Amino acid sequence: MFSETPLLPPRHSSLLDGISEASSIRLNNRIYELQEAGRDIITLSLGEAFFDIPLPSFEGLPAQKIHHYSHSRGVPLLREKLAAYQQEISTAPVDAAQEILVTAGSKAAIYMALTALLEPGDEVIIPEPLWVSYPDQVRLARAVPVMTPWYESVEEFGARVTPRTKAIIVNNPHNPTGRRLSADQLRGLHRLADQHGLFLIADEAYHEFVPAGERFVSALEHDPDKRHTIVCNSMSKNYGISGWRIGYLVAGASLLSQIIKIQQHLVTCAPTILSYYLAEHFESVLERTRPQIRRVVETRNRMGRLLADRGVDCLEGDATFYLFASLGGSKLNSDDFAHELLVRHGVGVVPGSGYGASCDRFVRIAVGAESEERLIRGVSAVATLIEETR
Ligand code: PLP
């Protein structure tokens, strides 16, 4: 009889037991709860810069196409626009037909690249402060993340290479420090990749955030044939439209023809209606967001100076809207510091612990979602709490 058989509950993959929730998302959820309870919180924890972007009108787009699946490599006109854009950034030619894949945000692009490259047990070098999803995406591919501490420079990565090393991931410009890799550093990474047969995954999701008058150097510039470089990029931060979920990946044609299989089995295509909109309005959206990006970078660098005046150091960098601030002489670790700051001063920052084991003496401050006056109050509270907890 059916009822007499013992119940045998099904079990999800043990792989997920080793995967953690994103710490920044957990913290922001706590902030939403406090705000709902009526508390005014200065939010320096959101990984977004809020831009003034007009409400899109889909008027004039091909009505018979926009509601449906589209080409899994990306809507052709958007691929052409992105290929030209990428070419302008990196001076390397990009073939819109074969070397670019438009997908649902760069998070998906990085995940697809890792899944396409990694065998179980392969190692991937990830510098700290790391973006939270890198190690867990590597683990999801049943491979092993190898973290380097924040004080280790890219020139030292050679010592980390083992026979199992398959790839290096760099985020350039870097969330959360704003550090940019120099042309020499990129050349060194390409040399390392060539010597050991590694892939170089360059996450360039913040490449528009360079200060006025400065030039961003893309990893593709030194590997125009795309021997081992995979560039992942996104409209989320560079265009201020993270909710649209549009990102892209550039790689050599033969590798891309493998990666595309994952796209086809996972998401089919990037959001069609938004891809058509972006293709049609590519230049005007960029024209509107670029000056706003310049302003938020200037604000960030101003807040950095304000912290420095109060004796708070930040890790070096200038191309972002984040500050990665040292807790200096505070006795608190980064989780306790972020908690105390929220409870005592009503200011939300992200604990450095989420950015790797070497980063527990830092907190991340984002300047993209608050007014200047509230930012000054927020960063001043960080400096004050460091003094109070010495
Ligand atoms: N890469 C980095 C370093 C990020 O900080 C983020 C988002 O916070 C992403 C990639 C993912 O962006 P998206 O998936 O929205 O393109």
- Output the domain CATH number for residue 313: 3.90.1150.10
pLDDT at 30 over 90: no
CB-based burial label for 54 (10 Å; 0-12, 13-18, 19+): exposed
Q: How confident is the model at residue 386 (pLDDT cuts 50, 70, 90)?
A: very high
Asked which of 240, 256, 281 is the last residue of a domain, the reply is: 281
In a domain, 2, yes or no: no
Torsion of CA 265, 268, 271, 275, to 10 degrees: 130
Of all protein residues, the one whose alpha carbon is nearest to atom 1 of ligand 1 is 205
Q: Is the CB of 129 under 6 A from ligand 1?
A: no
C-alpha of residue 46 to centroid of ligand 1, in Å: 12
Assign residue 149 the CATH number of its domain: 3.40.640.10
In a domain, 378, yes or no: yes
In a domain, 81, yes or no: yes
Same domain, yes or no: 99 and 161 = yes
Q: How confident is the model at residue 143 (pLDDT cuts 50, 70, 90)?
A: very high
Q: Is the CB of 106 under 6 A from ligand 1?
A: yes
Same domain, yes or no: 25 and 125 = no
pLDDT at 25 over 80: no
Q: Is the CB of 107 under 6 A from ligand 1?
A: yes
Q: Is the CB of 47 under 6 A from ligand 1?
A: yes
Residues 6+ away with beta carbon under 8 Å from 62: 276
Mean pLDDT over 307-322 rounds to: 97
The share of the chain scoring above pLDDT 90, in percent, equals 86
In a domain, 21, yes or no: yes
Q: Is the CB of 222 under 6 A from ligand 1?
A: no
pLDDT digits (tens, 9 = 90+) for 218-262: 999 999 999 999 999 999 998 889 999 999 999 999 999 999 999
Nearest to 116 by CA among 264, 246, 271: 264
Same domain, yes or no: 248 and 372 = no
Determine the pLDDT at residue 48: 85
Same domain, yes or no: 291 and 221 = no
Per the structure, how many domains does the chain have?
A: 2
In a domain, 1, yes or no: no
In a domain, 239, yes or no: yes
pLDDT at 1 over 70: no
Of the listed ranges 30-44, 104-118, 304-318, the one predicted with least confidence: 30-44
Q: How confident is the model at residue 3 (pLDDT cuts 50, 70, 90)?
A: low
Q: What is the mean pLDDT of the chain?
A: 94
Same domain, yes or no: 225 and 263 = yes
Same domain, yes or no: 248 and 122 = yes
In a domain, 297, yes or no: yes
In a domain, 5, yes or no: no
Question: 330 versus 52: which is more confidently predicted?
Answer: 330
Same domain, yes or no: 131 and 232 = yes
Q: Is the CB of 131 under 6 A from ligand 1?
A: yes
> d(Cα 386, Cα 101) in Å, to the nearest integer?
45
Asked which of 228, 247, 281 is the last residue of a domain, the reply is: 281
Q: Which atom of ligand 1 is nearest to the CA of 234?
A: 16
Same domain, yes or no: 79 and 210 = yes
Q: Is the CB of 247 under 6 A from ligand 1?
A: yes
Asked which of 257, 281, 305 is the last residue of a domain, the reply is: 281
Q: Is the CB of 172 under 6 A from ligand 1?
A: no
Query: 375: which 2 tokens?
Result: 């930012």
Most confident residue range from 17-21, 88-92, 124-128: 124-128
Same domain, yes or no: 211 and 350 = no
Beta strand 123-127 with 165-171 is parallel
CB-based burial label for 263 (10 Å; 0-12, 13-18, 19+): buried
Q: Is the CB of 43 under 6 A from ligand 1?
A: no
Nearest to 193 by CA among 160, 147, 234: 160
384 to each of 45, 200, 352, 369, how far by Cα in Å?
Answer: 18, 41, 18, 21
C-alpha of residue 131 to centroid of ligand 1, in Å: 8
Same domain, yes or no: 270 and 291 = no
Same domain, yes or no: 238 and 316 = no
C-alpha of residue 9 to centroid of ligand 1, in Å: 36
Full residue range of the structural domain in which residue 358 is found: 14-52+286-388
Same domain, yes or no: 36 and 80 = no
